Amino acid sequence: MKSLNGKVVVVTGAGSGMGRAYALEAVRRGARVALNDVDPGDLAETVRLCAPAQVLARVFDVSSIADFTAFAEAVAAELGPADVVINNAGVEGEGQPFWATSEESFERVMGIDFWGVVNGTRAFLPQLLDGDPGYLVNVSSLFGLIGPPNHSDYSSAKFAVRGFSECLAAELMDTPVRVYTLHPGGVDTNITRSQATQAFRGKYLKTSPEDVVRLVFNRLGSSRTRIVYGNRAASTWLGARLLPQRLMNRLVSVDMKSILDRSAYPASAWLAARRPDGEA
């Protein structure tokens, strides 16, 4: 979709990275934008960069369905019904093997990366159904296609986004709403903020957010609703489709071995700590 003149585009996680890139590209194409982020300072900077376009901005956590519903009501009242909704907000996990990953991390990542997508869909779907057409973009990840080591919390959420989006797309087949699932590869954003994931960032996050965003907007209206793009994306997608699971697991593990913190490995050490005293 080359032009977004007269359209209302909703973007979550718009304070930085791909979210900011979506906002700026939507404005460049003529849209009015409704933006969310949990960080008021980052969101204010995105709003400033979008000037002089018409912008509605709200600070809230996307894991809250009540806040999301209030946001959707404000968008309809102030800008008009949404034409494009991009459920982009996301956070990283702890970057540790499963046995060293806290329950709190699973809850936090699922709350934002998965439930944020569900909440955004639930809040805005009535508006999209009234459009002709309406476009919903749910952001999964390359890690919604493969399960890499040290990312069980993050990958679980992104696989859930993929499953949810594919079910929803089938359910909405005979409606004016088209559902797109985005699986970006290594995109150079600030999602990797913890010390544990800096080596991962340096090795894999190479693709510019602007390249991904332009592709997504250009794809709207297309029947090609699975979008796989970015560093390592094509080869990973082919491997996930064509290779036996165990072989793909081995290749991914070998590729990532040099950047993993080995202090929490091997799993046998974790298991040994839970054996009865004296057991060999």
Q: Tell me 29's DSSP state.
A: T
CA angle, 156 as apex, 152 and 160 as ends, to 5°?
175
Nearest residue to 82 (alpha-carbon basis) of 25, 11, 22, 23: 11
Q: For 173-216, list the strands marked E by DSSP.
A: 177-184
Query: Taking the CB of residue 160, how many other CB atoms lie within 10 A of it?
Result: 18
Q: Distance between CA 16 and CA 18 in Å, rounded? A: 6
Based on the residue annotation, tell me whether 265 is a catalytic residue of this protein: no
Contact by Cβ (8 Å): 184, 141? yes
- The residues facing 87 across adjacent strands are 138
3-state helix, strand, coil in the chain (%, to 5): 50, 15, 35
The structure tokens 């930085």 sit at 16
Q: Which of 22, 154, 180, 204 does the annotation list as catalytic?
A: 154
The structure tokens 């040290």 sit at 150
- The residues facing 138 across adjacent strands are 87, 181
Q: Which residues are catalytic, by number?
A: 154
